[in-house]
Amino acid sequence: MKNGIEPKILICTECGEEFVFTVAAQQYFLERGYSEDPKRCKTCHTQYKKNQRDNNRSPQPSMAAQMEYPE
């Protein structure tokens, strides 16, 4: 049984490509209390986090920075 969660097609704000917010990823987000859909595809998200780490002069824990995709 699925608990009413369906894969969602989202548009990445970074590269403009469609990506799938999978059921597994949605459950992962739910478990961690994230209320917003991811804004970036996994590729851009990974790059974004890398840039944040490289640029970590003023650590400001933001929602986006804390989000992790399940592997």
Instruction: Provide, rounded to whole angstroms, the least separation between the CB of residue 35 and Zn ion.
Output: 21
Looking at the Cβ atoms of 26 and 40, the one nearer to Zn ion is 40
Instruction: Provide, rounded to whole angstroms, the least separation between the CB of residue 42 and Zn ion.
Output: 8
Own/partner pairs for 38-44, CB < 8 Å, 24+ apart? 38/10, 38/67, 38/69, 39/10, 39/12, 39/13, 39/14, 39/64, 40/12, 40/13, 40/14, 40/64, 41/10, 41/12, 41/14, 41/15, 41/17, 42/69, 43/15, 44/12, 44/14, 44/15
Looking at the Cβ atoms of 41 and 67, the one nearer to Zn ion is 41
Sites of contact with Zn ion (CB under 5 A): 12, 14-15, 41, 44
